[in-house]
Structure 1
Amino acid sequence: MRPTGGAAVTSSEGQPVEQAAISVTALSKHFGSVLALDRIDFEVRPGAVFGLLGPNGAGKTTVIRILTTILRPSAGHAEVLGHDVVREAGVVRRLIGLAGQYAAVDPNLTGRENLRLIGRLTQLPRARIRPRAAALLERFDLAAAADRPVRTYSGGMRRRLDVAAALVPEPPVLFLDEPTTGLDPQSRNALWELIRELVGDGTTVLLTTQYLEEADRLAERVVVVNEGRIIADDSPAALKARLGNTVIELGMGDPARAARAAAALDGRLAQAPEVEGARLRLTSPDGSEALLDVLHLLETGGLVPRTVAVRESSLDDVFLALTGHRTDPPADPAAAGDAP
């Protein structure tokens, strides 16, 4: 699958320039007095996974709904493969697939019947509908259950079928809105592998997620959204490098000892420690030397930690540094989305 449908783009020297698969400029959205999106900008290159990361209510689903022509923006401009999502909404719909937060398949139909129905609704040529449905059922490991009603499927099977349904018309751009929320770790890993295969075939994927590990594993670039604004835009590796490569976590036994330990370290390190209950957290580009310094300072003050853990920094650490709080735990699938 290759991106199609956009006009050719050339530089001032007449050389071809790679056109963005998705382009967003100063995009804003109001719901009454609520500003859900505040002039956000980003571009997604063709054949990549692009992550929109943020907590519930950050605006991620609102972005997806605008880009998939479900909502109209209040201001700004957005294109998919060079086509305006407002003025050319019909064209955009033919170029995209969408797997939203909640399964769009009919629980009373079989998996096979659902995919064939999607084929007819998306005006796939009749001769291609049956083989396309069969190929997707095989690819998503659903062939054995293809003729069972979807209401008998597990959560992981339904989610895979939902993504398969979004792929029936072979869209060059796929939107996945929190695709693994509610899945067990095995089903989540299987879906991650399928997303990698799709990108290997040339599909562009825009992925929203609250799972930090998901963005880290899949996305080549990540936009961090908070309260309708973009607060960071970079590769996962570069975002983590801002904090230093190592996170040191010290368990002090109780909050009072943690507070005393933080006070003892204040001004003695390049970066002040974060206190979270009975734990201290520090980041450093040189974990081994920093750990030795910290342990020496605490031992001198009679505040030897009860536990010590050293690990690489994560996107969760990045989000904490950027916003002052961690991402919320993934929402229940029955909960409402971002938009009021």
Structure 2
Amino acid sequence: MALARMSADPAVRLDALSSWHADWTGLKVVVLGLDAVAFSVVDTLAELGSSVLAVAEQAPDDLARLVPVVGARLEQAALDDVPDAVREFAPDVVVATDAFAPTHPILAWAETNGAAVWGDAELAWRVRDKIARADGTPAEWLVVAGSVGKTTTVALAATMLVAGGLRAAPCGSGVVPILDAVRDPAGFDALVVELSEGQLRHLRAARDAGAPVPLASTCLGAADGADHDALGTVYRHTVTACVYNRTDSATMRMVEDADVTDGARAIGVGLDTPGPSDLGVVDGILADRAFVENRRTSAAELSTIADLDARGLAAPHHVFDVLVAAALARAAGIEPASVAAGIDRFEL
């Protein structure tokens, strides 16, 4: 039996939910799980006026007590099948964190019965305009994916952005929930967003209204057995720079196959001598040949291996993370001196 919908064309209504200031009232949403990320979803949707049912097998006591306080409802039940409470609730949307694969029985049931399936990153993108910048636009997103090094790279990039005078913060799978950063009353010019493979699996199916359009993006690499198609989603719709490991054929293919915004550039990163449109290392100097006026004949010095050693960042994998973070920051308009200042401020 099909679910009762709130509109003759539910897809049209859901596509219209692309702003914090849209009409979210009455939207019926099931949220799977109840960890910090799932609670940020519950709290956000309840604040927006939606009807929210959180379902979890075992909810932490502190979060379970908060669910009714924010105006939502909690059902604790086994999730290996669709709980009766979910069927009776008949949601318009089911929001899943990265702990729930798209093949999970509840998500498969939702798809079959006409409910949309979103991840927390999709919801965060839809409501990213709650706190606007001075010019009225929401914070830019710089997104980071990959099997290793994400949290260090995200923190480095955010530190460089702050050193360059921007209000910026790291958030995402290994840091603060994205929705908490989006709703921070202080507001930001840029968010450096760490996305897990699980979050990207959900984003892969996002319609345009919920698909992020990042200023810059990167995949740091794919471990054996990783879902390359999901990881490649990080590059979709990128506006300025798709940053990739130029020694890794898998990430190169991700960039080549990505559906990016016209004008986006592929920026290679490696520990060897950089070519035009690359960042790399020359005689112990971290060099940028991607964001300088004459890329073929000049380069900008960003830091040195000796400087990185003083910060505990001289190991090759850390040097690579620094270069990727610098590429993201440079794509956001940060000057080389501010990149260097950000490195000097950074604590591993």
Greater share of residues in strand:
1
The TM tier, using the shorter chain, reads under 0.3
Highest RCO, 1 vs 2 (Cα 8 Å, sep ≥ 6): 1
| TM-score under structure 2 length normalisation | 0.26
Normalized against structure 1, the TM-score is what? 0.27
